[in-house]
Chains A and B, each alone.
Chain A
């Protein structure tokens, strides 16, 4: 069945370093992926998305890479800051069904050391 997984449940980085959070998906028909950031005690917040006709998309300090061949995507955060400490979720927004619903991964907790 459909699943979205993350390679590491936790990631600790030094302030100023780059962070890379990985995600794998299982549905080869999936065509739209979204990364969310969830700070403690808050709801998830949209970071960046990517469609399957792209292999890279950049935002402010964030880049998402999509490798459809191995069904893998990653979120790169440049110059990681303490405010980036949060849980990061990738979500598969497969719209092949009758309704578009998100399938979330379990999340990676990013800790930024000062």
Chain B
């Protein structure tokens, strides 16, 4: 039981490049989330998926898109990376949108030059 996994662990992009961050959970959770964490800041919600087939914007969705591929997987895409998107990205999951605490992955460190 790996919990929440994320790939890649680290990525360097040039401005304007695109990439997709992958997240998967094996806990049969319904809800999944993407956060970004900047130095000295708490986590800010980018997008979430309350259940398979649904996605909604969080606090800072601009510049990102998401896909809930199936119950296990929730990906985050940067279509045209900008230096302001340099951050650490965390994926999380919960049994349901109002159930319990969030289980976090190890994070993806993204540097946009």
Is there contact, CB below 8 Å, between A100 and B98?
yes
Q: Are B97 and A99 in contact (CB under 8 A)?
A: yes
Please, which residues of chain A bring their CB within 8 A of the CB of B105?
43
Contact of A105 among B42, B97, B107 (CB under 8 A): B42
B29 to chain A, nearest CB (A): 13
CB distance from A66 to the nearest CB of B (A): 16
- Give Cα A106 to B37, complex, Å: 10
Residues of A within 8 A of B101 (CB): 34, 46, 49
- In the bound assembly, the distance between CA atoms of A101 and B97 in angstroms comes to 8
Q: How long is the Cα–Cα vector from A14 to B4 in the complex, in angstroms?
A: 34
| Cα–Cα, bound, A47→B13 (Å) | 34
B40, A106: Cβ atoms under 8 Å? yes
Q: How far is the CA of A41 from the CA of B108 in the complex (A)?
A: 10
- The answer, among A34, A43, A99, A106, for a CB contact under 8 Å with B48, is A99
**A-B Cβ contacts below 8 A, count:** 53
A102 contacts chain B at the CB level, 8 A cutoff:
yes
Contact A42 B106 (CB under 8 A): yes
Q: How far is the CB of B99 from chain A (nearest CB, A)?
A: 8
A25 within 8 A of B: no
Tell me the bound Cα distance from A106 to B44 in angstroms.
Answer: 10
- Complex CA distance for A34 and B103, rounded to whole angstroms: 12
Interface residues of B (CB under 8 A from A): 4, 33, 40-45, 48, 50, 56, 58, 90, 92, 94, 97-99, 101-107
Binding site for B on A (CB under 8 A): 4, 9, 34, 41-46, 49, 89, 95, 99-102, 104-107
Q: Which 8 A-B pairs have the closest CB atoms?
A: A43-B104, A104-B42, A100-B98, A46-B101, A104-B43, A106-B42, A99-B97, A100-B97
| 22 A–B pairs (Cβ distance < 8 Å), ordered by A | A9-B40, A34-B102, A42-B107, A43-B90, A43-B92, A43-B104, A43-B105, A43-B107, A44-B90, A44-B104, A45-B104, A46-B101, A46-B102, A49-B101, A95-B98, A99-B50, A100-B99, A101-B58, A104-B44, A105-B42, A106-B40, A106-B42
